[in-house]
A and B are shown apart, each in its own frame.
Chain A
Amino acid sequence: MLESPAVRSPRAFVPPLLPALAALACACGGPDQRPAEWAYIHAAIVVPSCASATCHSNGTRAGGLTFEDRAETHRSWLGEPYVSPGDPNSAILYLLEGRERDLMPPSAPLPPADIEFIRRWIVEGAAP
């Protein structure tokens, strides 16, 4: 499970532009220490990348699938099954990597680090 929230530092609210520009200058970033938890993956990757208005939103439901709700998305991913818990070659990864041409998202592929992040969650059991 995720840890309890830390006490919020005032520095967390520093205007984001300066650190962002500094990071662009070095284009750096460290090893992936994000929590391989479904709640985080859904909020940080699935919703902004997949649940856009013209794709898997409640309004469009491309292919009959909506990814806006966390629990419903988990059910549909495991129910199809796009995700087989423990299987590092789950179908969802074929889609995200475009291994058989049908890349998802089609015109804005996920960075490989995000795909590996999702693979880690699947290998660790794909818990909801």
Chain B
Amino acid sequence: MSIRPLLAPALTLVLAAWSGAAEAYPHFQLSSDVAICQSCHVAPAGGGLLTDFGRDQSEDPLSGGGNGGLLHGLVRLPAWASVSGDVRLAGVANAAGRAEGLEVLAFPMQADLSARLGTDLVSAVGSVGLRSLARRPPVQSGSVASADPAPVVSREHYVIYRPAKTPFYVRAGRFFAPYGLRVADHTAYVRRHLGFDLEEEPYGLSGGAVSEEWEAHATGYVRDPLHAGGPAELGGAALGELRVGPAAIGLSARAGFTRLDRRFEGGPYAKLWIEAAHLLLMAEADGVYQRFSIPGAPSRVQLAAYGGPVWMPVRGLSVGAAYQAFLEDLAVAGTGRHAVDLWASYLPISHVEVMLSTRAQRIGTDTAWYALLQLHYFL
């Protein structure tokens, strides 16, 4: 039978799979002037909107220079407001699995606006972005009625309360629970397969404390089935991180309960900055125990791992490599996937980034690879 009608949805999914969101770059922790994510980011565990100090860091030492302020310093906002935005254009060459040939695509990857309104004590933070700029596939004949997905999405919106002169915070809204290394690439196995993929942000209530030497976060969440995909989920997550000199070690855990399963995951992560070599080493390993709500169905144990070095030889340039693994079911041979990532990111000036990343994957007995070029500009 012909499967040509299915080509367009496939292409759309390729593009959707690569569309992005504003994220933190975890290799900047320890390697820059600060060890605390919230020094540079409004969010207590990093990611997304930058603080004024974060914008300063984006000038020096994290890029070649320039003015990190809003619109290169042309606009100054009052202290109760922050605005930023991210635009990414991307090109990808994809040779996936047993597919024949090479797909070469260029597409708008990200167009987000984010803002904060409030004081040091209480503020509201939110982002709005285009959900997908991929071409729209035809609806399959005989399929269920299709409701157009909203063209814009708010992946994050929350209110945060930080009592003055304390390390504590409370926030409520839509955001990812702090967990693991929080790598920027949502297709990294420790994100994609652990519930931190694109647009999977749940609604939650989170509290924690952040200090120079340590931080801790605890989150209760409800996963919204209308926006986050998969069944509604009720869960909780916790993260603790300890920083000693040029090293940070952490432990994360998460439990989620749906009508389909109960899932428990957790594991350690670590970072080590070697100043003499301008090298950051980071690694994360998570075990997952999943029990299905199906009579007689076997439970399964999974493993996700990520680790590798990031070399930052000069201002603005980061070169990284990582090994990744996701073993979907440790009891079944041939269900694992392994990958090697190589990437380079260059910020010639603040606001501008060029990034090339490649991934070679071994999935069961098959191989796949892709190369992705991103041009990133933030306001």
Report chain B residues within 8 Å CB of A80: 140-143
Report chain A residues within 8 Å CB of B198: 52-54
Interchain nearest-CB distance for B204 vs A (Å): 16
Interchain nearest-CB distance for A21 vs B (Å): 7
Q: Are B327 and A54 in contact (CB under 8 A)?
A: no
Q: Are B231 and A47 in contact (CB under 8 A)?
A: yes
Interchain nearest-CB distance for A30 vs B (Å): 6
| Contact A100 to B100, CB < 8 A, known contacts A16-B301, A107-B14, A107-B17 | yes
| Contact A62 to B9, CB < 8 A, known contacts A21-B287, A30-B333, A105-B17 | yes
The A41-86 residues at the B interface (CB cut-off 8 A) are 43-44, 47-48, 51-55, 57-66, 68, 72, 76, 79-80
- Of A55, A64, A91, A108, the contact of B143 (CB 8 Å cutoff): A64
Assembly CA distance A1 to B231 (angstroms) = 24
Nearest 10 Cβ contacts at the A-B interface: A20-B287, A64-B139, A2-B296, A63-B9, A113-B334, A98-B99, A53-B229, A57-B229, A109-B97, A16-B287
Report chain A residues within 8 Å CB of B294: 2, 37, 39-40, 43
Let me know if A111 is at the binding interface, CB within 8 A: yes
Let me know if B78 is at the binding interface, CB within 8 A: no
Report chain B residues within 8 Å CB of A72: 144
Interchain nearest-CB distance for A8 vs B (Å): 9
Let me know if A123 is at the binding interface, CB within 8 A: no
| Contact A20 to B334, CB < 8 A, known contacts A5-B296, A43-B297, A102-B10 | no
Q: Are A60 and B14 in contact (CB under 8 A)?
A: no
Assembly CA distance A68 to B259 (angstroms) = 12
- 7 A-B residue pairs with Cβ-Cβ distance under 8 Å, sorted by A, are A28-B330, A29-B327, A40-B294, A51-B229, A72-B144, A101-B100, A107-B18
Let me know if A31 is at the binding interface, CB within 8 A: yes
Let me know if A17 is at the binding interface, CB within 8 A: yes
Q: How many residues of A contact B (CB 8 A)?
A: 74
- Of A99, A106, A112, the contact of B13 (CB 8 Å cutoff): A106
CB within 8 Å of A: which residues of B?
Answer: 1, 3, 6-14, 16-19, 94, 96-101, 103, 132, 137-147, 149, 187, 192-193, 197-200, 225-231, 260-261, 264-268, 285-289, 291-303, 305, 325, 327-337, 363-366, 368, 370
Assembly CA distance A60 to B305 (angstroms) = 29
| Contact A19 to B334, CB < 8 A, known contacts A24-B303, A59-B149 | no
Report chain B residues within 8 Å CB of A112: 334, 363-366
| Contact A29 to B98, CB < 8 A, known contacts A39-B294, A53-B197, A68-B225 | no
- Of A3, A19, A79, A101, the contact of B301 (CB 8 Å cutoff): A19
Assembly CA distance A2 to B325 (angstroms) = 31
Q: Are B98 and A103 in contact (CB under 8 A)?
A: yes
Q: Are A40 and B297 in contact (CB under 8 A)?
A: yes
- Of B97, B200, B291, B370, the contact of A12 (CB 8 Å cutoff): B291
Assembly CA distance A28 to B288 (angstroms) = 16
Let me know if A10 is at the binding interface, CB within 8 A: no
Interchain nearest-CB distance for A34 vs B (Å): 6
